A and B are shown apart, each in its own frame.
Chain A
Amino acid sequence: MPLENKTMKEKAKILDKEGVQRAVTRIAHEIIEKNNGIEELCLVGIRNRGVYIAQRIADCINKIESKQVLTGALDITLYRDDLALASGQPLVRKTEIDFDINNKTLVLVDDVLYTGRTIRAALDALIDFGRPKTIQLAVLIDRGHRELPIRADFVGKNIPTSKKESVEVHLLEPDGRDEVVIMEKD
């Protein structure tokens, strides 16, 4: 997720507060439907914003099924394939998966699906933690331009974008507001 950039200006608002909430609610329902319930289900959010989205989906599922879903947080910095490229220094943050992922139905959650490289790194990291029965992918936004053969199982909203644009997801917890906007070069 690129940080708010001063040379970029807002082009369009894709989702407002209600839009984000509806997308999260729908993903929660789809996860339950696809897996015929929530037995052995767990959610793992990718730092940073995927963690908040995973928590919101989990809260939603808990309400619908009246049962708690396990959630964890994954930092993929150490698994990135562009660590060696000069793109500024990434901050290493904590991975917190306090449960056994073996034989679980694990739903990986991120804010934006773009090239697929973050997901590739996340899959590598997860495999080091164990062998889930299946790994599914949920994203709030799919903006296209994949560079790897990766697709999402659950998508909040598909947005066709140009590579010159950037998609910014703002969430209440870190940013003070819920919205998704497309930014373009000023």
Chain B
Amino acid sequence: MSWTKKDLLGLEYLTKEEIELILDTADSFKEVSTREIKKVPALRGKTAVNLFYEPSTRTRVSFEVAAKRLSADVINIATETSSVRKGETLIDTGRNIQALKADIIIMRHNCSGAANMLARALDISVVNAGDGWHEHPTQALLDIFTLKEKLGKIKGLNITIVGDIAHSRVARSNIWGLTKLGANVTVCAPEMLLPVAIEKTGAKTSSNIDEALKDADAVNVLRMQFERDEGAAFPEQLDYFKRFGITGERLARAKKDIIVMHPGPINRGIEMSSEVADGANSVILEQVTNGIAVRMAVLFLVSQAREIKT
């Protein structure tokens, strides 16, 4: 099994074997961050550009740390202070970055499909760090990596994803990845936040969190993005916590060793109680650590694929 794609755009486009290759490679990279000198020369002389059209700290920093541990040079472009403000198109920005002889663009964009479009237009690698409601492949990969590390396998697991499924790229990427690896996925949300035809992806739906937690081996709790509140579809914060919030009381009725995940940043008292966020079932900070290894693996594999092709 070898990796041949110059880009990572979404888990929808990957085979089970390709997903497993990323996870296995990440497993090898995890050790690097435990060394006294947390750096290997694999991407020495390569340049990675963080191109973020949406505010993001944790994903951007995680990619930056990953690239630096591989000895790549990293440049951050915050679009609020760039020529994008002067009306430059995405493709033009991409071509300019390519002309600077950068090797990888890591992009976050508010439009679904933006990474796919940029990848088609450029010869250099594009890694999707989240595009609109479409995909956030590295977040799902680090979620799956963490699950596999904790439970030893993915096949046959019951995974519940709770939150604003309709607007969540994290949910979509997780559904693609988990179902390809043979897990049973249940998505749980207020009816208004369950997308139409989501069952076609192979995920079951529920609007009752206690039911959705009953047989779950893990629950991935998504952030309710109240700052993007678009009116009628959004429940009241307190009402949401009452109906869907993950509390100690709810967990007590679930499997004893249920794993609790969250992509961060947590809204304490809205998606989950502090007791759960800091409790024994939570692997939230391990997800952050694993994110580095997964992103190192992705950056390494896409840049290798480009070398082999050219």
Query: Which residues of A pack against B, CB within 8 Å?
Result: 75, 77-79, 83-86, 88-89, 91-96, 124-125, 128-130
Please name all residues of chain B whose beta carbon is closer than 8 Å to the beta carbon of A86 when the two chains form the complex. 307-308
Please name all residues of chain A whose beta carbon is closer than 8 Å to the beta carbon of B39 when the two chains form the complex. 128
A-B contact pairs, 29 of them (CB 8 A): A75-B28, A77-B42, A78-B42, A78-B70, A78-B300, A83-B42, A83-B307, A84-B307, A85-B307, A86-B307, A86-B308, A88-B308, A89-B2, A89-B3, A91-B24, A92-B25, A92-B28, A92-B29, A92-B297, A94-B27, A94-B31, A95-B28, A95-B31, A96-B31, A124-B41, A125-B40, A128-B40, A129-B35, A130-B36
A89 to B3 alpha-carbon distance, docked (Å): 7
Please name all residues of chain A whose beta carbon is closer than 8 Å to the beta carbon of B301 when the two chains form the complex. 89
A95 to B29 alpha-carbon distance, docked (Å): 9
A-B pairs, top 10 by smallest CB distance, nearest first, are: A78-B42, A78-B40, A89-B2, A92-B28, A128-B37, A94-B28, A92-B25, A86-B308, A89-B304, A84-B307
Please name all residues of chain B whose beta carbon is closer than 8 Å to the beta carbon of A78 when the two chains form the complex. 32, 40-42, 70, 300
A128 to B28 alpha-carbon distance, docked (Å): 16
Total A-B contacts with CB atoms under 8 angstroms apart: 50
Interface contact B42-A129, CB-CB below 8 Å = no
With A78-B70, A78-B300, A89-B2 already in contact, 8 other A-B pairs whose C-beta atoms are closer than 8 Å: A83-B42, A83-B307, A86-B308, A89-B301, A91-B25, A96-B31, A124-B41, A128-B40
Please name all residues of chain B whose beta carbon is closer than 8 Å to the beta carbon of A129 when the two chains form the complex. 35-37
A50 to B27 alpha-carbon distance, docked (Å): 21
A78 to B300 alpha-carbon distance, docked (Å): 9
Q: Which residue of A has the minimal Cβ distance to B71?
A: A78
Interface contact B28-A83, CB-CB below 8 Å = no
Looking at the assembled complex, report how far the CB atom of A78 sits from the nearest CB atom of chain B, in whole angstroms.
4
A125 to B305 alpha-carbon distance, docked (Å): 23
Q: Which residue of B has the minimal Cβ distance to A127?
A: B37
Looking at the assembled complex, report how far the CB atom of B34 sits from the nearest CB atom of chain A, in whole angstroms.
10
Q: Which residue of B has the minimal Cβ distance to A129?
A: B35
Residue of A75, A88, A94, A125 with highest tally of chain B CB at under 10 A: A94
Please name all residues of chain A whose beta carbon is closer than 8 Å to the beta carbon of B42 when the two chains form the complex. 77-79, 83
Looking at the assembled complex, report how far the CB atom of B14 sits from the nearest CB atom of chain A, in whole angstroms.
16
Interface contact B2-A93, CB-CB below 8 Å = no
Looking at the assembled complex, report how far the CB atom of A182 sits from the nearest CB atom of chain B, in whole angstroms.
28
Q: What 1/0 flags go to B9-41 for Cβ under 8 Å of A?
A: 000000000000000110111011001110111
A50 to B114 alpha-carbon distance, docked (Å): 46
Interface contact A128-B2, CB-CB below 8 Å = no
A39 to B304 alpha-carbon distance, docked (Å): 42
A86 to B309 alpha-carbon distance, docked (Å): 8
Please name all residues of chain A whose beta carbon is closer than 8 Å to the beta carbon of B37 when the two chains form the complex. 128-129
Q: Which residue of A has the minimal Cβ distance to B297?
A: A92
Residue of A79, A88, A128 with highest tally of chain B CB at under 10 A: A128
A94 to B34 alpha-carbon distance, docked (Å): 12
Interface contact B305-A89, CB-CB below 8 Å = yes
Please name all residues of chain A whose beta carbon is closer than 8 Å to the beta carbon of B300 when the two chains form the complex. 78, 92
CB < 8 Å neighbour of B41 from A79, A92, A94: A79
Please name all residues of chain A whose beta carbon is closer than 8 Å to the beta carbon of B36 when the two chains form the complex. 129-130
Q: Which residue of B has the minimal Cβ distance to A75?
A: B28
Interface contact A128-B35, CB-CB below 8 Å = yes
A93 to B25 alpha-carbon distance, docked (Å): 7
A128 to B36 alpha-carbon distance, docked (Å): 8
Please name all residues of chain A whose beta carbon is closer than 8 Å to the beta carbon of B297 when the two chains form the complex. 92
A173 to B301 alpha-carbon distance, docked (Å): 28
Looking at the assembled complex, report how far the CB atom of A128 sits from the nearest CB atom of chain B, in whole angstroms.
5
Looking at the assembled complex, report how far the CB atom of B244 sits from the nearest CB atom of chain A, in whole angstroms.
40
Please name all residues of chain A whose beta carbon is closer than 8 Å to the beta carbon of B35 when the two chains form the complex. 128-129
Please name all residues of chain B whose beta carbon is closer than 8 Å to the beta carbon of A83 when the two chains form the complex. 42, 304, 307
Q: Which residue of B has the minimal Cβ distance to A47?
A: B28
